[in-house]
Amino acid sequence: MGIQGLNIGLSALRSSRSAMETIGHNLSNANTEGYSRQSVTLGATSPRSVDGLAIGTGVEPEALTRATDTVLNRRIVVQAAKVTRLESMMVGMNSIESFLGEPNGFGIGGLLDGFFNSVSELSASPTDLALRSEVVRSADSLASQFNQLGVQLDEAKADALRRVDFVVDEINTIVDNIRDLNVEIAQFASQGIAANDLLDRRDEALRALGERINITYYEEPAGVRVLAGGQLLASPVSTSHLEVRRDGNGETFLMAEGGTEPVEVTGGEIGGLMEFARDFVPEFQAEMGSLARSMILETSRLHSTGIPPNGGFRHLTASNQLTDSNGNGGFGDEILGNAGLPFDVHEGQLYVNVVSESTGEFATYAIDVDPDQTVSTFLQDIDEIPLLSASIDGSGRFSIVAGGGVRFDFGRRLDPTPDDAGTFGGGRASVGTGSGEPFALSGGDTLDITGSGGPFTVTFSAIDFDDIGAATAAELAGVLNANANLQTAGMRAEIVGDQVFLQSVAAGATETFDITGGSSLGALGLPTGTASGQNAAVEVAIGGTYTGDENGTLTFRPIGDGAVGTTPGLQVEVVDETGTTVATIDVGEGYAPGTAIQLADGLTVSFTFGELSATNNDAFVQSHVANSDTSDILAAFGLNSFFTGSDAASFGVRGDLVDDPFLIASSGSGAKAGNQALLEILALQQDEVEGLDASFMDFYGNSIGRVGFEIDSVQNAVDVEQFLADSLTARKEQVSGVNVDEELVNLIQFEQSFTAASRFIQTINSITDEVMSLI
Amino acid sequence: MKDPQSLLNHLCAWVECETTFQRELSAILDTQERAVLAGDAAAVAESVEQVQAVLERAPERAERRVQVFTDLGELWQVAVRFLTLSSIAERFGPCADHLVALRSELRTATADVVRRQRRISKFVATHRRVTRDILEALFGAENGGPLECEGTLLNAEA
């Protein structure tokens, strides 16, 4: 055997050893993430030419190849971004679900139930202090839960964004790694060496990057070029780090180093985190904020017009502060609609009742509210109410204080004796205009009256009216009451509704006056003849609780003349503010005077014995209020509100109620044991709420249902995408993976065959030695 | 006592048979060498079986050789251990030319077997060492002792 023969043997040995070592490398990396199986391709070395013959020179490793599928790897990277996006969303969404505390009863749903249950129990015993305290406690629990949820949602969002910062750091590290690998791989490639392990590591780095952010990459001879959301992250020789930035609105976005546009993040863990923080949490926060805001507004709307059992207030201070938006140091010049109040003020009316503490008698004042008026003008309107004064403190809180002996409230008080003037069968001699204002008088029109002092004439002058052809009741009454002859005659003018009544000041059967003529009779609709008082005046009593939806008036007029309870066919017609007859009541023969007659919308009326006169245009007007604050100014100011704040974070129970649960306004009309306000608050549990298009419970149920649905949807999507990812990974394993069993079987077969082969070596040696010794 | 020419003929027949055997063994070892170099365990195993089959015929030839050499020793009153093909050819003189030629062929064939055998022996030892290194690196000797021991279990899922 010559030197050449030895070379053949050595090259073969080296080649075989390379193959064996590759098997060992495969086995060693069987569990290495991203490792691709390698194999040695053996090839014949170049033949040697001897005497024109090609003599073989042995075998050598031709190439060390990596079993990989670049298309499959690319799909795995894309799929990884989908899976991790969904998984990171799931983590956040599950945390939100845990915050809700449903269905263990400690969530908002259970606490809403608890609050309304406590209101329901109180409505049955409105003066029970223990039940009042329970209402305050349950309301406080509800408010606290809203506060806590608001904080938890903020924290969940902040956690997600902190995680974004962390993941961006990871991304930058991976990007640096990819660049380094690019350089190393290129160095090996320049020497004609395929750096299979480095290529595997780069594939793995790309997959790890894809798990964190949506990327696309391109393989170039010099390395891979990686882009995320259109921005270059890594080139074969350089990197652009990502940076987390937040704009003035708190929105988080990513910028690539040197980039001019934000990175469009659509996938990977960061995609899920940002979608969670940017969309899911704010949407849920907005829903909970709307729920909290509506709860505060609607409850306060109803509560602010309610009345505590002990009556109205001696003073009230608003919960909400005005804002000095123009910065001039004052609040009075602020426009109501733009005064920094948490709730809108609308054009409407506010009814203010001033109640005598000693007699319980009250007067109701209607204030027109316009969101375009200034705070000062509203304050003046309150100030103009007798015995009330309003002010604004230095912090912008509006206050109302009652004078001595009176209280005030904003309830829907019903005047139980609406005919105080006695224009409906009263004791005074009385005759009313046949119709209401406006009165089509002319300048110089006259009214001839004969009173106790003799005849006199009232002459109407155009100068006393804005428009004498359309004179108002107030103008007409003003002119009459200013007439000296009328005063001398012991008479006065009273306004009832839009009618004007001429009356004797004194009551009794002896009181009379005559309307004898004048040019104004037609315009005023006054009858001529004698009006007489009576000793037994008809006393009107209104009872019940108004349950209608609209503010309005009922005008009662007799049909015909006669005595209550005795005149056959005597009826009273009831017309509403539109002039529509809503009832005709039999009060003649057969009616037991004083008996309450049921009217519509929860009201009753009764009449005592006495004479009614349609001829003299007898009438009285009863006002009923369904909503004593159609402007929402009380809720906006937070005057007699139940809750405070305007969103989930600021949700609270008014401090006055916590200190004194008896201030809970249970009654709508002022009855000590009334529960109208409580029942109306209770109805919020099921009634559709403006702005939510659902009841509180339904809205909350829909919200948490949506969260649950979205979690289910994302979970399903995770399952599907994970299945696809697993399928792709399995395919990669088929292509690139190391089958440990197979590799081991190969090794053991080698081991066994070599052992077997070695068994005969000695035998052969013995034989050949013996033969050689014989030769 | 056998006729010397007859003994020479038996000896030539044995040498031819032994030469054939050595050539056959050489061919098998050539195949085995290629299998070992190619890392083809199945081919190695097959060649081992062929070696085994060939070696099974060795005792018969050995008996024939011992008989012939014993008879020749008795013929020449020489101890058998001092007889070689070369000394036998000298004793027979010119009539043993054929034996001289056969001796040369046997020497060539046997030398070829020895050479191949040494190469294979080296290759197999190297392969075994590499294989053992790999297996021990993967599973450790402490997990089951020497790998050639019967009953050693390899965790193929590791």
> Averaged over A233-248, what is the pLDDT?
89
B86 at A interface, C-beta within 8 A? yes
A17 at B interface, C-beta within 8 A? yes
Give the pLDDT confidence score for residue A48 in this predicted structure.
Answer: 64
Give the pLDDT confidence score for residue B143 in this predicted structure.
Answer: 44
Contacts of A201 (CB under 8 A, 6+ apart): A34, A181
d(Cα A257, Cα A733) in Å, to the nearest integer? 36
A747-767 residue pLDDT tens: 666 666 667 667 677 788 888
Candidate from B55, B65, B126 with C-beta closest to A760: B55
> Averaged over A716-728, what is the pLDDT?
82
Question: Is residue B122 in a domain?
Answer: yes
Give the mutation candidate from A6, A23, A746, A768 for the B interface (greatest B CB count, under 10 A): A768
**Chain-chain contact of B22 with A768 (C-beta, under 8 angstroms):** yes
Give the pLDDT confidence score for residue A669 in this predicted structure.
Answer: 83
> Confidence class of residue A326 from pLDDT cuts 50, 70 and 90?
confident
> Averaged over A208-232, what is the pLDDT?
89
Share of chain A above pLDDT 90, in %: 58
Give the pLDDT confidence score for residue A45 in this predicted structure.
Answer: 63
Candidate from A740, A758, A771 with C-beta closest to B124: A758
> Confidence class of residue A616 from pLDDT cuts 50, 70 and 90?
very high
Report chain B residues whose CB lies below 8 A from the CB of A16.
36-39, 123, 127
> Averaged over A27-31, what is the pLDDT?
71
Distances (CA, A) of B11 to A589, A774, B14, B72: 166, 12, 5, 9
Candidate from B58, B107, B138 with C-beta closest to A27: B138
A757 at B interface, C-beta within 8 A? yes
For residue A222, how many other CB atoms are within 10 A of its CB? 14
**Chain-chain contact of B58 with A767 (C-beta, under 8 angstroms):** yes
d(Cα A313, Cα A408) in Å, to the nearest integer? 5
Distances (CA, A) of B116 to A5, A159, B32, B129: 11, 73, 10, 20
Which of A519-528, A557-566, A625-634, A689-698 comes out lowest in average pLDDT?
A689-698
Question: Is residue B103 in a domain?
Answer: yes
Candidate from A755, A760, A775 with C-beta closest to B103: A775
Q: A36, exposed or middle or buried, with CB in 10 Å at 0-12, 13-18, 19+?
A: buried
Six-digit token pair at A712? 């289910």
> Confidence class of residue A482 from pLDDT cuts 50, 70 and 90?
very high
A664-679 residue pLDDT tens: 999 988 888 889 899 9
> Confidence class of residue A317 from pLDDT cuts 50, 70 and 90?
very high
Q: What is the ipTM of this complex?
A: 0.81
Q: Measured between CA atoms, how close is B71 to chain A, in angstroms?
A: 15
A169-185 residue pLDDT tens: 999 999 999 999 999 98
Report chain A residues whose CB lies below 8 A from the CB of B154.
744, 748
Peptide bond into A103 cis (omega under 30): yes
Which of A310-324, A328-342, A723-737 comes out lowest in average pLDDT?
A723-737
Six-digit token pair at A605? 């009326």
Give the pLDDT confidence score for residue B149 in this predicted structure.
Answer: 40
> Confidence class of residue B157 from pLDDT cuts 50, 70 and 90?
very low
> Confidence class of residue A12 from pLDDT cuts 50, 70 and 90?
low
A110-163 residue pLDDT tens: 899 999 999 999 999 999 999 999 999 999 999 999 999 889 999 999 999 999
Whether the per-residue pLDDT at A513 is higher than 60: the answer is: yes
Whether the per-residue pLDDT at A328 is higher than 60: the answer is: yes
> Averaged over A216-221, what is the pLDDT?
86
Give the relative orientation of helices A196-212 and A268-275 as an angle to the nearest 10 degrees: 10
Task: Please give the distance of CA A119 from its chain centroid, rounded to a whole number.
Answer: 22
> Confidence class of residue B142 from pLDDT cuts 50, 70 and 90?
very low
B28 at A interface, C-beta within 8 A? no
Give the pLDDT confidence score for residue A707 in this predicted structure.
Answer: 84
Question: Is residue B158 in a domain?
Answer: no
How many independent structural domains does chain B possess?
1
Task: Establish how many alpha carbons lie within 13 A of residue A594's alpha carbon, considering only the half-sphere containing its beta carbon.
Answer: 1
Taking a C-beta distance cutoff of 8 angstroms, is the pair A369, A633 a contact? yes
Q: Measured between CA atoms, how close is B90 to chain A, in angstroms?
A: 13
A747 at B interface, C-beta within 8 A? yes
> Averaged over B64-73, what is the pLDDT?
92
A62 at B interface, C-beta within 8 A? no
Give the pLDDT confidence score for residue B95 in this predicted structure.
Answer: 86
Question: Is residue B155 in a domain?
Answer: no
Domain hosting B18: range is 4-144
Report chain B residues whose CB lies below 8 A from the CB of A60.
none
- The residue with tokens 């001879």 is A221
Give the pLDDT confidence score for residue A174 in this predicted structure.
Answer: 95
Candidate from A744, A753, A767 with C-beta closest to B48: A753
Whether the per-residue pLDDT at A746 is higher than 90: the answer is: no
d(Cα A70, Cα A168) in Å, to the nearest integer? 26
Taking a C-beta distance cutoff of 8 angstroms, is the pair A526, A435 a contact? no
Closest listed residue to residue A402, CA positions, set A351, A336, A357 = A357
Question: Is residue B151 in a domain?
Answer: no
B120-130 residue pLDDT tens: 777 777 667 76
Candidate from A20, A750, A768 with C-beta closest to B114: A768
Taking a C-beta distance cutoff of 8 angstroms, is the pair A59, A45 a contact? yes
Distances (CA, A) of A420 to A301, A356, A428, B57, B155: 31, 16, 11, 145, 106
The pair phi, psi for residue A585, each rounded to 5°, is -110, 130
d(Cα A389, Cα A384) in Å, to the nearest integer? 8
Give the pLDDT confidence score for residue A72 in this predicted structure.
Answer: 77
Give the mutation candidate from B134, B152, B155, B157 for the A interface (greatest A CB count, under 10 A): B134
Question: Is residue B156 in a domain?
Answer: no
Question: Is residue B11 in a domain?
Answer: yes
Question: Is residue B99 in a domain?
Answer: yes
Task: Establish how many alpha carbons lie within 13 A of residue A8's alpha carbon, considering only the half-sphere containing its beta carbon.
Answer: 19
> Confidence class of residue B152 from pLDDT cuts 50, 70 and 90?
very low
Q: Measured between CA atoms, how close is A33 to chain B, in angstroms?
A: 15
Q: pTM for this structure? A: 0.68
A344-371 residue pLDDT tens: 999 999 999 999 999 888 999 999 999 9
Whether the per-residue pLDDT at B158 is higher than 60: the answer is: no
**Chain-chain contact of B133 with A28 (C-beta, under 8 angstroms):** no
Whether the per-residue pLDDT at A772 is higher than 90: the answer is: no
> Confidence class of residue A42 from pLDDT cuts 50, 70 and 90?
low
d(Cα A286, Cα A568) in Å, to the nearest integer? 66
- The residue with tokens 């020419």 is B5
